[in-house]
Amino acid sequence: MTHTRYAFIQAGWHADIVDKALEGFLAEIGPAAQTEIFSVPGAFEIPLLARDLAKTGRFVAVIGAAFVVDGGIYRHDFVARAVVDGLMRAQMDADVPILSVVLTPHNYQETPALTDFFRAHFVQKGREAAHAAAAIAATRAKLRAA
């Protein structure tokens, strides 16, 4: 059985929601995969750590998860764009797939209904990230073997 290593980075802001992405990822990726989990304070810190982890050569993919909401102090769409752009640049620099589960809703308020919705949504996005990570790792392995 081949063991595949993944790095999963999660932001601490709104951890009760963001942690659900890891839950979905681990449930879907399966027991043959090994996942190392890293925590950062917020979304803005994910790209640098993702690049550093990818450059170690230990992981076939790195996944970053965060929930960027309008906190009323700065524009959350600016932060989300900077993070996603940083993840893209990091994967190109490191030559390792870096996948994003960095989500930013247009309007989030901490109501029970919205919180429950986003918890379930993050589980699903974690599952989707697992499928994408496994697929890209398999495709890249085939390319190297050819």
Q: What digits encode the pLDDT tens for the residues 34-56? A: 999 999 999 999 999 999 999 99
How many CA atoms within 13 Å lie on the side-chain side of 16? 6
The pair of structure tokens assigned to 81 is: 């764009």
pLDDT of residue 93: 96
Query: What is the set of active-site residues?
Result: 75
Catalogue all structural domains in the chain, each as residue range(s) with its CATH number: 4-145 (3.40.50.960)
Structure pTM?
A: 0.92
The pair of structure tokens assigned to 78 is: 């600016």
> What's the order of all strands across the beta sheet hosting 33-40?
33-40, 4-11, 61-67, 98-103
pLDDT of residue 72: 64
pLDDT, tens digit only, all 146 positions of the chain: 355 899 999 999 999 999 999 999 999 998 778 999 999 999 999 999 999 999 999 999 999 999 998 766 667 778 888 999 999 999 999 999 999 999 988 777 888 999 999 999 999 999 999 999 999 999 999 998 98
pLDDT of residue 1: 34
